[in-house]
Amino acid sequence: MKNQLNELKKISHPLPPNAVIGIIGGGQLGRMIGVAAARLGYSTIVLEPGRDCPASQVCNQQIVADYDDAEALGELVQSCNVVTYEFENVPMRAASIIESQIPLYPPSNALSVTQDRLQEKKFLNSVGIHVAPYRSVENADDLTAALDEFGGGILKTRRFGYDGKGQHVFDTAEVPNAREFLDNMGNGPFVLEKKIAFASEFSVIAARSIYGEVRAYDPSTNLHENGILRLSTTPARLDAETTSEGVEITETLLHALDYVGVIGVEFFEAEDGLLVNEFAPRVHNSGHWTREACRTSQFEQHVRAITGNKLGDVSRHHDCEMQNLLGSEAQDISAYLSDPNSFVTLYGKTEAREGRKMGHVTRLKQS
């Protein structure tokens, strides 16, 4: 029975037009997946508790319910041919319910690995991929010992952190009251990473199909401000050897996870070689530029992969940079619209908060 169930969970041939894709999560990534799916003739249903979410404005249907609502998950499974997701904190219970009945791509093991930073680092090391030195922090004694060993470091919650949230940088080994500090941080346990000197941060966006085919986009150099991606520039400022190594590491990870779909892998170009900072089992912010500068965008590529189609051409026809529009920056886009080399994408969010991603602009560079 188990072997038969495993066969049912995998797509063995391309889904025809008018098949239905379920998307867990209604944010901007789900929205852009929905647009790409429509271009290829697929319908989409988004499961999201918030009404009038960005994805609901472009998808065919929204199921308004919590992500782990059993009745809603049953409706999603009955209505869809395949399910994907736009964020990595999908409840594992929900992933298991879906995967036991229809294909879920990327597979749930990728979710499980990335939902816990400690497990993610252990997994990466287990497949021969290097990360910055780290220590598990369960209590005040662990924090004191790890800070003393590293002379400082970056303390991160193991779960639910994103865009710099759930992090604290220690420039020295000093912490006045470790127990009180951890209590104030909340959401433990934690992991402390050693601060690494690096020449640049860059990412590789790649996809793997149900046939094991892998295609990787040109890497992008990333600039972060306050833990939020501010700018991605392509091509990355890397030599050919480093570029090739980053792509090879990404391919190793994709095959190790038996992955299907698009992945985003973030790297540090450190003095002693490449280190993986983290990876995201989904389309990625630093790959938004692919819609305007490549033959196949990361969103279409993801749809191709999860529906069992062949992957598209990832060649880049322009150098470019992608800038996130945060908070009120998206309220006046007239300057971007008057520039023939700029392409604006807004996410349909009604509330502009400081640091919130409201859209992005991709600027193509002319040779």
pLDDT(4) > 70:
no
How far, in Å, CA of 226 to CA of 66, rounded? 30
Task: Give the DSSP letter of residue 264.
Answer: E
The length of the chain, given as a count of residues: 367
Q: Is 99 exposed, middle or buried (0-12, 13-18, 19+ CB in 10 A)?
A: buried
Task: Pick the closest to residue 359 from 327, 336, 337 (CA basis).
Answer: 327
Task: Pick the closest to residue 15 from 208, 297, 207, 210 (CA basis).
Answer: 210
What's the mean pLDDT when you consider all of the chain? 94
Q: What is the pLDDT of residues 19-71, one digit of tens each?
A: 999 999 999 999 999 999 999 999 999 999 999 999 999 999 999 999 999 99
pLDDT band at residue 128, thresholds of 50, 70 and 90?
very high
How far, in Å, CA of 56 to CA of 26, rounded? 7
CB 349 within 8 A of CB 54: yes
| Percentage of residues in the chain having pLDDT higher than 90 | 87
How far, in Å, CA of 36 to CA of 290, rounded? 12
Peptide bond into 176 cis (omega under 30): no
Q: What is the pLDDT of residues 193-237, one digit of tens each?
A: 999 999 999 999 999 999 999 999 999 999 999 889 999 999 999
Question: Kind of pairing, strands 220-225 and 198-208?
Answer: antiparallel
Q: Which long-range contacts (CB under 8 A, 24 or more apart) does 298-301 make?
A: 298/205, 298/207, 298/217, 298/262, 299/32, 299/33, 299/35, 299/36, 299/262, 300/36, 300/39, 300/40, 301/207, 301/215, 301/262
CB 212 within 8 A of CB 231: no
How far, in Å, CA of 132 to CA of 250, rounded? 17
How far, in Å, CA of 309 to CA of 304, rounded? 5
pLDDT band at residue 159, thresholds of 50, 70 and 90?
confident
3-state secondary structure of 185: helix
How far, in Å, CA of 123 to CA of 135, rounded? 14
Q: What is the pLDDT of residues 107-121, one digit of tens each?
A: 999 999 999 999 999
Please, what are the domains in the chain?
2-104 (3.40.50.20), 133-193 (3.30.1490.20), 198-365 (3.30.470.20)
3-state secondary structure of 328: helix
pLDDT(296) > 60:
yes
CB neighbours of 236 closer than 8 A, spacing ≥ 6? 200, 202, 218, 219, 220, 221, 243
CB 15 within 8 A of CB 37: no
pLDDT at site 115: 94
